[in-house]
Structure formats: structure tokens, C-alpha cells
Structure 1
Amino acid sequence: MTRIAYGKLMRFLTARLSPGGELGLHLTAGVIMLVVAVAAFGEIADAVGEGDDIARYDEQVSQWFYAHAFEPLTTIMFGITHLHGIPAMSVLSALLGLWFWRRHAPYWLLATAICVPGGMLLNVLLKHVYQRARPAFDEPFVTLATYSFPSGHTAAATLFYGLLASYVVTTSASWRVRAAAVAGAAAMVALVALSRVYLGAHFVSDVLAAMAESLAWLAVCITSVSTLRRRRAARQEQ
């Protein structure tokens, strides 16, 4: 590699890793997250479509939860799942958007407007692409006519809590607060996913695919809005 080519490469890498650049570290991190999430979703989808070991594992886990269900855990799981359905998540997203508006955070308001609704639309499209039947039981806890793959409740939770955690991570100066936000978001998503598998509404691969799908869409939304904000800020400084 010539000295000129090496210099160009170093300038390119420096720009991509610059925390403040309009096409810097935020874009690099977003692209990496998008690629990893899409790859993970693809692997899960391929395994489900080909009926690999994951399909047998899915069935075993579903039957185990169904056989070991007990009160009051079942009632708790119903409460968690109802709080993360489309009506409840729509209300929560609207309240989050209102909060961003009151805090004069227009770019986060824009991210909220496209993240959860857009991600849920993507989830519906993917359901019709794969058309996977839901787990079957003699006396199911829930009976749903829609397709199973990927999980809509888990997707909505990943989008909502992921967006909220992203806001805290980018605005808080305390690493403890940032770590708590990420851990709290992950815990809530895991809890919603568990409720869907426990109640027999989804297989494990359904909720894992929903997480991957939603993280990919979240990366697109956050990175796009962040790039828009940085570009406008750069133009105003000129």
C-alpha cells in the first residue's frame, strides 16, 4: 500500500470513528448493528424454514412451558403480554412522543413516529412472508388467527424500550445510568418474550427473530434521524 493510499484509508477510518462527525461513529455503529441484526434474523429464518434442530427445540420448549404452567404466574404473564399488545404500545409510544415534544427534542419525536409504527408494519409483512403456524395445544391459553413468525409483542417491546434506552445512552453523562437503561430495556424485552412463549402464543425462534428484526429497524431509524440532525447542525454552523 502506498503512502497516499494509506493516508486516505486512515482519514476515512478516522472520519468513521469520529464521535462528532455527521457520518462518524454513530453511523458506523448503526451500520454494524444493522448488519449483525439482519444476519441473525436470516440465520433464524433459514433454520425455521428448513426445519433444522431449532424446530424440534421450539416444540420441546413450548410443550414444557405448557406442562409446567401454574398460578399466579400465568395471570402475571397475561398481564405482561396485554400491556405490550398493539393498543397498549400505541398509547405508550404516543406518551413517549409527547414527552419528547415537551422536552423540545424534535429529532427523538421523529424517531418515535417512525420507529414503533414502522417496525410493527415490517413485522406484519414478515408474518405474511413466512406464514408460520402458531404452537398447538389441546387447551391453549390463547387462540390467535394470525401467523406466528416473528412475534409482534416482542418486536414492539424491542422497538419501544430500545428507543428509550438509546435516548438515555445518548443524553446521559453517567455510565451507571446508561448501563441501567440498557439492562432495564433488555430485561423488559426478555420478560415480554418469555410471556409469549409461556402462554403458547409463540415459539422461542419467533421471539428471537422479532428481537433481531426490531434491532435492525431500530438501527435504521436512530442512525437516519441522528445523521439528519448532525447534517442540519453542520449546515447551520457554516
Structure 2
Amino acid sequence: MSHRHPSSRIAHRASHHSSPSPCALLSLAIAGAAGFVALALAVFRGTWFPGLDAMVHRHFAFAGDGVLYQAMCWTSHLHDTGFVVIYLMLLCVFLWRRHEGRWLAAALVSPLGAMAMNWVLKQVFERPRPPRWPSAAVSSTFSFPSGHTIAAAMLYGLVACHVLLASGMGPRARAGAVTLCALAVAAVAFSRVVVGAHYLSDVLASVCEGMVWLALTMLWIRRRQHAPMPLASAPP
């Protein structure tokens, strides 16, 4: 007789009853991909979206060293690659302690894969960073799509998906946690525009990219529900 960790049984039941259908997940992935392609075409082939990008950029160019700018600088800095890797490590430890092998594998592979793909896309599009003002952060990498935003989308997106599908939390607690995760992604995206590191279209494209990655990750987890991954017991 197999013995499963109690938290693993809770996660299994929650996932079994709440997991979205493959059709819904595929629709989300297609919507995200379509949004990304539409944004790319609007930015690199269109005329009106670059004008919108420039207008938004000029608006925040006057933020200077005010409270909003300083808060967004900290928000952006706390989601640099090094910090995101630390957050992912903490998430992995949490999942390992709960004996949730599928989610652990997703947390190890999916965010890093998305960040790597984002870097490739930067090299493909080669969009220059927005014009600098004196207080803006300096970066030598390309602008489209936003690396900070895709990292935040994957980190908080995975947390939100786990809360919804495998946490066993009550409806109100799940709604509150998912709302906080969504606000965290929005805050990071907004911060990259405010500090002058990205155009609006850069961060929107990364959100669309994150939708695709999260949907495909959830499809993989759903597919593996009936093939439990063996996982070494956590130390006492």
C-alpha cells in the first residue's frame, strides 16, 4: 500500500476537483500568443502604438525623484534576476516540503525556460531601450519584451495557480491570494515603465508571453496528475 504525505493528498484532491480543462488552457495559450503577435506587429509594423509608447514614456519622464518613482525603483530592483531566483528557490523548498513533485518540477523548469526564451526574443526583435532621462536606470540589453515582467508573471503566476488548484484554501482566501499575485505582476510591469526601462508595449508583450507559458505549464501538470512523480522524503 502506498503512503502519501497528507499535504500531497490535499493538493491532489484540490487539483482533481479544480483543474481547468485542456480546452480552456489551450484557449488561454492561444490568446496569449495572439496578443503577443498583435503587439509585435503593432510596434514594429504599425504607427499608432509606437506613438502611444512614446506618449506614456514622456509622461513618466517628469516623475523625477518623487515618491512614486522611488517606490517603483525599489519594486523593480526587488525583481532583478538574482532576487527572482531566490524567490523561486524558496518556492521550490516549500513545494518539496509538501511532497508536490509535479509543481516542484514546474517551478524549477518553467520560469527559467520563460526567462531564457524572453532573452532570445530580445535578440530577435532588437528593440532599443527608451530614451534616457538623468534619473533613469541604465541597461545595455534590448527592450522588447520585458525580462522583469516575464519573471514576475511566471513567479506569481505559478503561486496563483498553485493556490487555485492545489492549496486546499477556502474560496475567499484563494481569491485574496490570487488578487495579490495579479497586483504584484501589475506592479512590476508598471515599475519598469515608470523607471524608464521599458515601453508600455514591452511589458504588455511579456504578460502575454507569461500567459502562454503558464497555460502550457498547467497543461503539463494536468497531464501528469495520474502519473505521480517519486520524490525523496523531506528531512524531519
User: Structure 2-normalised TM-score?
Assistant: 0.85
- Percent identity over paired residues: 34
Matches within 5 A, 1:9-48: 25-48=20-43
Residue 20 of structure 1, CA deviation = 5.2
180, 198, 203: which one pairs with 1:207?
A: 203
Deviations 1:12-71 (A, max 9, x none): xxxxxxx959xx843222111101111111110110111321100000101110113342
Larger gyration radius, structure 1 or structure 2: 1
209, 219, 222: which one pairs with 1:226?
A: 222
Q: Paired residue for 1:176?
A: 172
| Distance in 2 separating the partners of 1:108 and 1:181 | 18
What amino acid is the match of 1:48? V
Residue 178 of structure 1, CA deviation = 2.0
Q: Paired residue for 1:137?
A: 132
Residue 179 of structure 1, CA deviation = 1.5
Deviations 1:106-151 (A, max 9, x none): 1110110111101100100111111101100342511111000000
* Count of paired positions: 212
Greater alpha carbon shift after TM alignment, 85-94 vs 60-69: 60-69
| Distance in 2 separating the partners of 1:194 and 1:95 | 25
| Distance in 1 separating the partners of 2:80 and 2:156 | 14
Residue 110 (structure 1) aligned with residue 105 (structure 2): yes
3-state secondary structure, aligned to 1:116? helix
59, 62, 77: which one pairs with 1:64?
A: 59
Give the root-mean-square deviation of aligned CA atoms: 1.7
What amino acid is the match of 1:219? A
Gaps of at least 5 residues in structure 2 are 1-14, 229-236
Q: Paired residue for 2:7?
A: none
Residue 189 (structure 1) aligned with residue 185 (structure 2): yes
3-state secondary structure, aligned to 1:229? coil
Matches within 5 A, 1:73-152: 73-152=68-147
3-state secondary structure, aligned to 2:21? helix
| Distance in 1 separating the partners of 2:184 and 2:208 | 15
- Give yes or no for contact 1:100–1:106 (8 Å, CA) kept in 2: yes
User: Structure 1-normalised TM-score?
Assistant: 0.84
Task: Looking at secondary structure, tell me which structure has more helix per residue.
Answer: 1
| Distance in 2 separating the partners of 1:50 and 1:179 | 39
3-state secondary structure, aligned to 2:224? helix
| Distance in 1 separating the partners of 2:159 and 2:133 | 39
| Distance in 2 separating the partners of 1:101 and 1:114 | 14
Residue 165 (structure 1) aligned with residue 160 (structure 2): yes
- Which of the pair has the greater relative contact order for Cα pairs under 8 Å at 6+ separation? 2
What amino acid is the match of 1:225? I
After TM superposition, where is structure 1 displaced by more than 6 Å over at least 4 residues in a row? none
What amino acid is the match of 1:200? G
